[in-house]
Amino acid sequence: MPTLRELVAELEANKAKAREMGGAAKVADQHERGKLTARERIDRLFDPGTFVEYGALAESPHVTDRATPADGVVTGVGRVEGRDVYVAAYDFTVLAGSIGMVGEIKVARLRDLALKHRRPIVWLIDSAGARIQEAASSIFAGTGYLFREQVVLSGVVPQVAALVGPGAAGTAYIPGLADFVPMVKGRGTMALGGPPLVKAAIGEDVTEEQLGGSQVHCAKSGVGSLEVESDDACLAAIREYLSFFPSSCDEPPPRRATDDPVDRREEGLLDIVPDSPRKPFDVRKVIELVVDHGRFFEIQPQWARSLVVGLARLGGRPVGFVASQPMFLGGVLDVDAADKAARHVTLCDAFNIPLVFLHDVPGFMIGTKVEQQGIIRHGAKMLFAVASATVPKLTVVLRKSYGAGYYVMNGRAYEPDAIYGWPSAEISLMGPEGAVNIIFRKQIEASESPDETRKALVEQFRGMIGPMIAARHALVDDLIDPRDTRRLLCRGLEVAEKKVVERPRRKHGVMPV
């Protein structure tokens, strides 16, 4: 019989072999592709020395012609800024990181532990999808459990799915159900069927990048949350993202001590909004001047660009921002912008993160194109999300706020805990130009100087919807000096910290998805 020392030595040798992953040649190939290995990613994700691995000695019982260390997925728990986080890192050096039966058993255990222990879970996806060699095994049913259990986890613990390589077929739905989906530029891809399958099924010749690269999903489909330049940048983004969130919905968001005074006044806020109502400005400059140390973590910056969403801190408190972006389409709300807002509001509300809305919104896009796209349904989704949110909600009307745009950006009827207007604020059913063209069309046409008449009427109407009118009709709580915006937002969060909202008893509402 071997001694315990001999058994321990054998165990260490087996674990060391597992840590070699697919072997030196496969690791070198990963590096040549500009990618880190699964284990290198884990080392960079977690605080040093905190990772504890589960299932290192797992192997596939179905693949007999080669070794499958850890069955192609490294799983375990580590700490991010001192808080526990579960991780599943697919290992492309082992059968292209494909999902095997034993590997899925390991990841299923992580999902169970994340739910029981109320800890976030991170997937680092670098995988060819379900393993073809095990197509007849239980892996097909196993991935079905994966998606259902992700839905169960949704809103309970934060879920991050990073595309650090390919995510095909089964692994493409993991990000589809996750909260935050960073993608490495030029390497991270996701698609329900890869190029060979697309070619065989519909005869289309396409590359992985054209089919589901970071530009496709971060700028066009909206599935991706953030395009980053490298694995290191991706892992840093995950760490920063998680820093805003509690470990679960049962906890308040983590606060940080800050030396940025809550009553700091910013002279620069007086110079951002142009004198002309037609000139755009970058709303991100407003956010950066208001939040702690100017740090704003923007989400989906390339998609639905007429709206800006992201995370920051005010007085050390995490806050979610929803802000009109007049630099793009004048800040109008289209189908994608409504979806973007609804998702971000729902995410922040699920994890007790207060919301700040900044208005410069002309309303919703109109016309046959957007009606056929379902602008009413998508707009209703945004209405639904904002109305459902029970976290503290603060609103600032920077410039215009017209029509239903005023409603969905958390106007008076949507339970704002404080609603302020800058002296440039205008609140109305529609903008002056549109109103004048509808109400005074005949008068303008009959005029000897139609253009001059139109301009005069526009200015007259603008005087009827200006900031003093909004204040007199209690559409805002107060008109404020822009330089006081940070102080009043921080104070508003402090006052609303213990907010309680009563809702009728029900199972859940029916979101117009």
Distance of CA 456 to the CA centre of its chain: 44
CB-count burial class (<10 Å; 0-12, 13-18, 19+) for 332: buried
Is pLDDT of 300 > 80? Answer: yes
pLDDT confidence of 401, banded at 50, 70, 90? very high
pLDDT confidence of 141, banded at 50, 70, 90? low
Q: CB neighbours of 28 closer than 8 A, spacing ≥ 6?
A: none
* Topology of domain 4-243, CATH: 2-enoyl-CoA Hydratase; Chain A, domain 1 (3.90.226)
Mean of the per-residue pLDDT values for the chain?
A: 94
Q: What are phi and psi of 226, to 5 degrees?
A: -160, 130
**Lowest-confidence segment of 52-61, 141-150, 153-162, 163-172 by average pLDDT:** 141-150
Strand, coil or helix: 215 = helix
- Could you give the CA distance from residue 31 to residue 35 in angstroms, rounded to a whole number? 5
Q: What is the predicted pLDDT for the residue at 140?
A: 56
CB-count burial class (<10 Å; 0-12, 13-18, 19+) for 509: exposed
Domain spans, the chain = 4-243, 267-425+466-495, 431-465
- pLDDT for 445-491, tens place per residue? 888 888 888 888 888 888 888 888 888 888 899 999 999 999 999 99
**Lowest-confidence segment of 123-127, 143-147, 182-186, 263-267 by average pLDDT:** 143-147
Q: What is the predicted pLDDT for the residue at 410?
A: 97
8 Å CB contact between 43 and 61: no
- Could you give the CA distance from residue 391 to residue 497 in angstroms, rounded to a whole number? 9
Q: What is the predicted pLDDT for the residue at 276?
A: 85
- pLDDT for 324-365, tens place per residue? 999 999 999 999 999 999 999 999 999 999 999 999 999 999
8 Å CB contact between 348 and 389: yes
Strand, coil or helix: 308 = strand
8 Å CB contact between 43 and 171: no
Which structure tokens are listed for 377?
A: 């349904």
The reported pTM is 0.94
- Torsion sign across C-alpha atoms 212, 214, 215, 218: positive
Closest CA to 242 of 353, 356, 116: 353
Q: What share of the chain is helix, strand, coil (3-state, %, to 5)?
A: 45, 20, 35
* Topology of domain 267-425+466-495, CATH: 2-enoyl-CoA Hydratase; Chain A, domain 1 (3.90.226)
Which structure tokens are listed for 127?
A: 């995988």
* Helices assigned H by DSSP within 277-367: 283-290, 335-350
**Lowest-confidence segment of 142-146, 314-318, 438-442 by average pLDDT:** 142-146
- pLDDT for 355-395, tens place per residue? 999 999 999 999 999 999 999 999 999 999 999 999 999 99
Which structure tokens are listed for 70?
A: 């850890």
Closest CA to 416 of 426, 408, 424, 404: 408
The CB density around residue 63, as the number of other CB atoms within 10 Å, is 19
Task: Report the DSSP beta bridge partners of residue 53.
Answer: 76
Domains 4-243 and 267-425+466-495 share a fold: yes
- CA angle centred on 79, ends 78 and 80, rounded to 5°: 130
- Could you give the CA distance from residue 243 to residue 45 in angstroms, rounded to a whole number? 13
Which structure tokens are listed for 332?
A: 């109008």
